């Protein structure tokens, strides 16, 4: 039991009527976790944090009823779907209700280049439905097969596809969001255009997302390609060249230094000893141009159509934060960072960081577009010693002009490059969550009004 009184929870459950509820504490505790254990710092801070019960709405009407009951009884509510976050975004800090929205998975409609879909729909299921119609989502995380569209937007970032379309914060990458307020009489709001950014990367603190309208991209036949290089900087330089080559249609470019590929399990036979690699997803018509640009600089060791059907492991599950996971499967002593290199000299800065940290920080780059410019994000694997040294590594990156989005903190502000909640998001939270019940503790700037 958390800080809530048994009486408040009992009254809440009575108000919910026939809405499915789970009170088995083993199940509730398990479902209250995400992948925060990637961070030894967060593992210590968040271990044991849990909701008091799970509520599983069947439709939007059930969410209205749940939100109203939570507001009446002042019970915290944390929206939950796939639970694939890496820094406790959906881990309840104050107990209360874990709102499992995965039953809301309907595709409302598909139009050329557009989709309207419930927040609990899995990304892989969405693309499975879209691809026969010639479309797919513009981007997705490496957890595509388990993540939901609502969780992806609420977590806010980018992923596979960002080399072409940037991150979710780029204009046009979220078209609209349908959200619900948490009040005694919940309101349903439609946020369109720039207003939809009020719920992007706020960890569910600025309204309960029930549906999203997203832009689509043409569904190419993607080819997974792995290229081995003797030197990491050669792999990075080639990835940067491909990222800049607008005529080559690509969805993923990931440069990864040795020895990280030595942890890659089923992919290991395609990763020569001592070689750094570039993982790519290239549209089939662009393969010839990709090979021509490569020339004799590296060796293609794997080339096959992307297949993320059950029982298969696509190359994208060795990239982005799956890269860290592949290492953690064998070595739980490591952790990671999230970096953004300046777009005016990314390769110069990559080399600078490589020389500064040597084998303590193992380079892993993801090429992206950011503000219309090509650069690289980085999720390096860090050999962890202690929190002080980790903070020193973060500080040294920032002193050298490499931005850090800290994955070892759990608030919206502290994990951001900007170190504060956007004023519009903060103001919007006051409007839609007047009692401060939505995922409390995750927006540090928010102060709950006095009764």
How confident is the model over 263-293, as pLDDT tens digits? Answer: 999 999 999 999 999 999 999 999 999 999 9
235 near 261, Cβ under 8 Å? no
Confidence band of 262 (pLDDT split at 50, 70, 90): very high
| pLDDT of 3 | 59
Q: Is the pLDDT of residue 115 over 60?
A: yes
Other CB atoms closer than 10 Å to residue 409's CB: what's the count?
18
Among left, alpha and beta (phi > 0; psi -120 to 50; other), residue 191 is beta
Reference 320, options 274, 375, 377, 371; nearest CA is 377
The dihedral over CA atoms of 150, 155, 159, 162, expressed in degrees to the nearest 10, equals: 90
Peptide bond into 3 cis (omega under 30): no
Q: Distance between CA 3 and CA 22 in Å, rounded?
A: 19
Residue 425, token pair as written in the block: 């998001």
Residue 197, token pair as written in the block: 């950014």
CA distances from 20 to 25, 56, 69, 72, 186 (A): 15, 5, 14, 19, 20
> Which secondary structure element, helix H or strand E, spans residue 117, and what is its range?
strand 114-118
Angle at 126 between CA 122 and CA 127, to 5 degrees: 120
206 near 429, Cβ under 8 Å? yes
Beta strands in 230-387 (DSSP E): 250-256, 276-283, 299-305, 334-336, 339-340, 361-362, 364-370, 373-378, 381-383
Per-residue pLDDT reduced to its tens digit, 78-107:
999 988 888 889 999 999 999 999 999 999
Predicted structure pTM score: 0.94
34 near 90, Cβ under 8 Å? yes
Three-state SS at 212: strand
- The region of weakest confidence among 8-17, 83-92, 116-125, 327-336 is 83-92
Angle of helix 346-357 relative to helix 387-399, nearest 10 degrees, comes to: 150
Give the chain's end-to-end CA distance (angstroms, integer): 24
CA distances from 9 to 74, 84, 96, 194, 278 (A): 10, 27, 8, 37, 52
Reference 131, options 250, 220, 224, 213; nearest CA is 220
Q: Distance between CA 289 and CA 282 in Å, rounded?
A: 10
Looking at every residue in the chain, the average pLDDT score rounds to 95
Per-residue pLDDT reduced to its tens digit, 349-386:
999 999 999 999 999 999 999 989 999 999 999 999 99
| pLDDT of 1 | 46
Three-state SS at 154: helix
Residue 115, token pair as written in the block: 């989709």
Alpha helices by DSSP H, 225-382? 232-244, 287-294, 321-328, 346-357
Share of the chain above pLDDT 70, in %: 97
Rounded to the nearest angstrom, the gap between the alpha carbon of residue 174 and the centroid of all alpha carbons in its chain is 15
Q: Distance between CA 363 and CA 232 in Å, rounded?
A: 8
């Amino acid at each position: 039991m958390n800080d809530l009184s048994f009486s408040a929870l009992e009254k809440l459950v009575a108000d919910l009527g026939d809405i499915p509820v789970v009170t088995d504490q083993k199940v509730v505790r398990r479902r209250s976790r995400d992948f925060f254990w990637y961070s030894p710092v967060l593992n210590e801070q968040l271990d044991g944090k849990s909701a008091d019960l799970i509520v599983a709405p069947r439709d939007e009407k059930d969410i209205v009823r749940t939100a109203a009951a939570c507001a009446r009884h002042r019970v915290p509510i944390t929206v939950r779907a796939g639970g694939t976050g890496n820094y406790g975004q959906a881990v309840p800090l104050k107990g209360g209700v874990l709102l499992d929205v995965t039953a809301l998975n309907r595709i409302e409609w598909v139009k050329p280049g557009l989709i309207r879909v419930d927040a609990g729909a899995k990304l892989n299921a969405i693309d499975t439905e879209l691809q026969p119609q010639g479309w797919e989502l513009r981007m997705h995380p490496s957890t595509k097969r388990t993540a939901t569209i609502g969780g992806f937007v609420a977590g806010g970032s980018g992923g596979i596809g960002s080399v072409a379309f940037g991150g979710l914060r780029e204009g046009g990458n979220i078209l609209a969001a349908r959200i619900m307020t948490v009040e005694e009489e919940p309101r349903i709001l439609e946020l369109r255009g720039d207003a939809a950014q009020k719920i992007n990367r706020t960890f569910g603190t600025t309204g309960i997302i029930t549906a999203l309208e997203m832009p689509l991209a043409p569904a190419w036949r993607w080819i997974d390609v792995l290229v081995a290089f003797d030197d990491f900087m050669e792999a990075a330089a080639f990835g940067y060249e491909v990222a800049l080559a607008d005529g080559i249609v690509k969805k993923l470019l990931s440069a990864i230094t040795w020895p990280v590929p030595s942890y890659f399990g089923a992919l290991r036979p395609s990763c020569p000893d001592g070689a750094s690699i570039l993982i790519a997803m290239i549209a089939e018509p662009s393969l010839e141009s990709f090979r021509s640009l490569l020339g004799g600089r590296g060796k293609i060791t794997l080339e096959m159509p992307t297949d993320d059907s059950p029982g298969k492991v696509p190359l994208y599950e060795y990239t982005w934060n799956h890269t860290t996971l592949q290492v953690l499967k064998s070595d739980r002593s490591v952790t990671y960072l999230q970096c953004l290199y300046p777009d005016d000299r990314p390769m110069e800065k990559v080399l600078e960081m490589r020389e500064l940290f040597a084998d303590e920080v193992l380079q892993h780059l993801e090429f992206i577009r950011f503000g219309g410019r090509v650069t690289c994000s980085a999720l390096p694997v860090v050999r962890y010693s202690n929190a002080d040294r980790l903070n020193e590594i973060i500080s040294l990156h920032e002193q050298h002009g490499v931005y850090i989005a800290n994955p070892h903190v759990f608030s919206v502000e502290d994990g951001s490059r900007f170190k504060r909640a956007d004023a519009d998001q903060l103001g919007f939270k006051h409007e839609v969550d007047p009692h401060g019940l939505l995922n409390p503790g995750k927006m540090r700037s928010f102060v709950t009004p006095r009764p």
